[in-house]
Amino acid sequence: MEHLLPFKKTRNAKNHIKNTAVITVIALALLAVIRLNYPIPQYSSPILSIHNNNNNNPEVLSVHHVRSNNPTVDMIKITDDQEKCDVFTGEWVPNPDAPYYTNTTCWAIHEHQNCMKYGRPDSDFMKWKWKPDGCDLQVLNPFQFLDIVRGKSLAFVGDSVGRNQMQSMICLLSRVEYPIDVSPTTDEHFKRWKYVNYNFTMAYFWSPFLVRSNERDPNRSTNTDLFNLYLDEYDESWTNQIDEFDYVILNAGHWLTRTAIYYENRRIVGCRYCQLPNLTDLPVAYGYRRVFRTAFRSLNERENYKGVTFLRTFAPSHFEGGPWNAGGDCVRRRPFRSNETVLEGLNMDMYMTQLEEFRAAEKMGKKRFRLLDTTQAMLLRPDGHPSRYGHWPNEKVTLYNDCVHWCLPGPIDTWADLLHHMIKMEARRWYNERLLQPQKKKKMH
Ligand SMILES: *[C@@H]1O[C@H](CO)[C@@H](O)[C@H](O)[C@H]1NC(C)=O
Ligand SMILES: *[C@@H]1O[C@H](CO)[C@@H](O)[C@H](O)[C@H]1NC(C)=O
Ligand SMILES: *[C@@H]1O[C@H](CO)[C@@H](O)[C@H](O)[C@H]1NC(C)=O
Ligand SMILES: *[C@@H]1O[C@H](CO)[C@@H](O)[C@H](O)[C@H]1NC(C)=O
Ligand SMILES: *[C@@H]1O[C@H](CO)[C@@H](O)[C@H](O)[C@H]1NC(C)=O
């Protein structure tokens, strides 16, 4: 209770209490449950550090029984159980209720992820849900989600797995409403969708390296796709437009394993698999580290960017029997249990690298950074990729067996559940910040 006292003593806060009795009861109950604690995220369990150890406090129990007339307050209530819980560690369990849409009810499924259309014979891969070890993760309620993001905007920045996630969201939310296309151009790399009844905008920015890049030989005369990556330069196609967004989900991964020439300070510092004379071959993690550093720096430096940045962590691919371009495929038909596989090798390197850069960005303390830590859940889903069911058998496509993207419907739908959970936590933090403000002001005097 100690931390409630200064709050009560403050005159502003007192008025507040008198004004709205209902809100106050909730406020006090919430204050008893959580203590604002920046910076919050820890390695894979940002949720863990939110709860304090006040579990013996009777106020904590009362939070479950508080009812209010304010739907937003009701929505952001999260039980103790969920607060303590690391939602990113768990198992996949059967879910007979899934899927929540099909390729006939949802038009937003990308051709190459429409696995049923291309003859995928099994459908069990859709019928699982993510069960965190210490609690239950609520399956997305699209009405509740849209209510909480009313008047807000969300951007997906990164590669086609980000687009995959956005299309999953569109399908899941389609039970309530389809967005209208308000894209500024016809370029499919930059989409904008508007939920008219909720004034909610979702946007997609194609930036597979997150930093400035170009193709070294745009005419492909040599038929290699070699990229120039300017590791310390912003990709202004998204950084210049990001200020208006309330939530930004960043991702990058698979493209960093491709051949590229790395520049820093406008000078070549080395390359990745380029096989050019006199260039140092650098490990994947070298480029990966720097692109996140640069992307996070761009956000930290933007005066007018007030959004919450989510790092959607690396989702491993599942090629077995060879690499993607030499016969590798993903033919498993069941999720792994957590004791059947481990994160290792390149996957581990990439995951650790992005977490380190995330923590460094967060330490600068300028903006709000959160982890959307999908790595462990997706590591366990070798069965969720299109494999050869992302196109007709005779079609000539670069990625014939696609073990990188995710079928829709499919396991990537779970990211919406995780995101909903995170956004609820954000809303609650926001409430607490407002409630604690009088206290902060007093301290400054
Ligand atoms: C949906 O999937 C079915 C197979 O389950 C397929 O026959 C149909 O063409 C697909 N429809 C669309 C619109 O993709
Ligand atoms: C819609 O949301 C934007 C912020 O995203 C806000 O500026 C605008 O006023 C809202 N419009 C309406 C009609 O509420
Ligand atoms: C690519 O092709 C265009 C037109 O064919 C030509 O103008 C341009 O110089 C070429 N660029 C390179 C880098 O070869
Ligand atoms: C590689 O470096 C050596 C020694 O610095 C130099 O003699 C040679 O010309 C370089 N080769 C290329 C292709 O730049
Ligand atoms: C994994 O755990 C399950 C359930 O606890 C158990 O039945 C199974 O034998 C374990 N598998 C391995 C490979 O350890």
Answer for the pair 162, 251: CB distance below 8 angstroms, yes or no.
Answer: yes
Per-residue confidence (pLDDT) for residue 272, from 0 to 100 = 92
For ligand 4, whether the C-beta of 151 sits within 6 Å is no
Among residues 391, 405, 420, 421, the one annotated as catalytic is 405
* Mutate-to-test residue for ligand 1 from 104, 106, 391, highest number of ligand atoms within 8 A of CB: 104
Who lines ligand 3 at CB under 6 A? 217-219
Atom of ligand 4 nearest to the CA of 278: 1
CA distance 205 to 211: 12
Domains, the chain: 2-84+431-444 (no CATH), 90-210+238-256+283-418 (3.40.50.1110)
- pLDDT at 95 > cutoff 60: yes
Per-residue pLDDT tens over the stretch 299-316: 999 999 999 999 999 999
Rounded to 5 degrees, φ, ψ at 128 are -135, 150
Q: Is 221 a catalytic residue?
A: no
- pLDDT at 153 > cutoff 70: yes
For ligand 2, whether the C-beta of 153 sits within 6 Å is yes
Residue closest by Cα to atom 6 of ligand 5: 339
- pLDDT at 347 > cutoff 70: yes
CA distance 145 to 168: 14
- pLDDT at 79 > cutoff 80: no
Answer for the pair 376, 89: CB distance below 8 angstroms, yes or no.
Answer: yes
d(CA 146, ligand 2 centre) in Å: 14
d(CA 261, ligand 3 centre) in Å: 20
Q: Is 160 a catalytic residue?
A: yes
- Of all ligands present, the nearest one to the C-alpha of 197 is 2
Position of tokens 């690298």? 353
CA distance 339 to 134: 17
Q: Which residue has the higher pLDDT, 33 or 75?
A: 75
For ligand 4, whether the C-beta of 280 sits within 6 Å is no
Among residues 51, 86, 112, 160, the one annotated as catalytic is 160
Atom of ligand 3 nearest to the CA of 219: 1
Q: Which residues contact 192 (CB under 8 A, 6 or more apart)?
A: 181, 182, 183, 184, 201, 202, 203, 204
Distance of CA 24 to the CA centre of its chain: 33
Per-residue confidence (pLDDT) for residue 398, from 0 to 100 = 84
pTM: 0.81
Distances (CA, A) of 323 to 190, 257, 330, 402: 30, 12, 11, 11
Atom of ligand 5 nearest to the CA of 339: 1
d(CA 219, ligand 3 centre) in Å: 6
- pLDDT at 35 > cutoff 50: no
221-244 average pLDDT score: 89
Q: Is 402 a catalytic residue?
A: yes
Among residues 402, 413, 417, 421, the one annotated as catalytic is 402
For ligand 4, whether the C-beta of 69 sits within 6 Å is no
For ligand 2, whether the C-beta of 197 sits within 6 Å is no
Residue closest by Cα to atom 2 of ligand 2: 151
* Mutate-to-test residue for ligand 3 from 214, 215, 217, 219, highest number of ligand atoms within 8 A of CB: 219
Per-residue confidence (pLDDT) for residue 341, from 0 to 100 = 97
- pLDDT at 333 > cutoff 50: yes
- Helices 284-301 and 345-363 meet at what angle, rounded to 10? 20
Per-residue confidence (pLDDT) for residue 396, from 0 to 100 = 87
Who lines ligand 1 at CB under 6 A? 103-104, 114, 116-117
Q: Which residue has the higher pLDDT, 416 or 84?
A: 416
Per-residue pLDDT tens over the stretch 97-142: 999 999 999 999 999 999 999 999 999 999 999 999 989 999 999 9
Nearest CA-CA partner of 424 in 68, 51, 73? 73
Per-residue confidence (pLDDT) for residue 63, from 0 to 100 = 29
Position of tokens 């033919």? 331
CA distance 171 to 157: 19
Residue 227 sits at the vertex; the CA angle it makes with 226 and 231, to the nearest 5 degrees, is: 145
Q: Is 8 exposed, middle or buried (0-12, 13-18, 19+ CB in 10 A)?
A: exposed
Who lines ligand 5 at CB under 6 A? 337, 339-340
